[in-house]
Structure 1
C-alpha cells in the first residue's frame, strides 16, 4: 500500500545548514522509489500553528519509506536539517 513521508518546516534557525541538507538529501535519493508530490509550494495553514514549508513524498509502501528515511545517506543529511530548522516529520499509509 502506498505510503507518504510528510515533512513540515516550522521555523528556520540556520539557512546555511539547510543548504547543506538540501544537497545531502538530493544525493540520498539514490535509487529509492520516491515521487515528490509537494515540495515547498505555496501553502495555507487552515488549523494549528503556522509553518514555513511542507514536503510530501510518495513511496510504494511503508517499508520503502522507512528504507529511505533510515538510510545512512539520508540520516547524514538529516543532521543538517535538524540543525537548520524545527521540523515535524511522519509516515502515513495511503488508502487502498
Structure 2
C-alpha cells in the first residue's frame, strides 16, 4: 500500500544548509522509489489556519518509506533541515481507491 512521508515545516532559514539539503534530497529518494507530490506552494485556505509549508513524498509502501528515512544517505543530510527549520515529519499509509469514509468504523 502506498505510504506518504509528510512534513509540516515552519520558520525555515533559507541559507546555505537548506540549499544543500534541497540539492541532495532527490538522490536519497530515488533508490526507494520516492518522489515529491507536494512541496510547499500557495495554499488556498478553506477553513482554519495553517502556518508553514506542507511537503508530501510518496513511496510504493511503508517499508520503502521507512528504509529511505533511516538510510545513511538521508540521515547524512537530515541535520541540514532540522537545524534550520521547525516542524513535524511522519509516515502515513494511504488507502485503496475503493476506500469509503465509513470503512474506519469497522477497524
| TM-score of the superposed pair, with normalisation by structure 1 | 0.85
CA contact (8 A) 1:6 1:90 kept: yes
State how far apart, in whole Å, the 1-side matches of 2:48 and 2:71 are: 32
| Runs of 4 or more above 4 Å deviation | none
Distance (Å, rounded) in 2 between the aligned partners of 1:57 and 1:7: 9
Contact 2:7 2:87 in 1 (8 A): yes
SS at match of 1:31: helix
- Which residue does the alignment assign to 2:34? 34
**Which structure 1 residue ranges, 5 or more long, are not aligned?**
none
Whole-angstrom CA distance in 2 between matches of 1:95 and 1:15: 37
Superposition deviation, residue 40 in structure 1: 1.7
How high is the TM-score relative to the length of structure 2?
Answer: 0.77
Structure ranking higher on relative contact order (CA contacts 8 Å, 6+ apart) = 1
The answer on 1:81 being equivalent to 2:74 is: no
1:25 and 2:30 correspond: no
Question: Which ranges of structure 2 fall in alignment gaps of 5 or more residues?
Answer: 97-107
Query: What is the aligned residue count?
Result: 95
Larger deviation, residues 2-11 vs 40-49: 40-49
Root-mean-square deviation (CA, aligned residues, Å) is: 1.7
2:61 corresponds to 1:56: no
Q: Structure 2 vs 1, CA of residues 64 and 81 (structure 1 numbering), >3 Å: closer, same or farther?
A: same
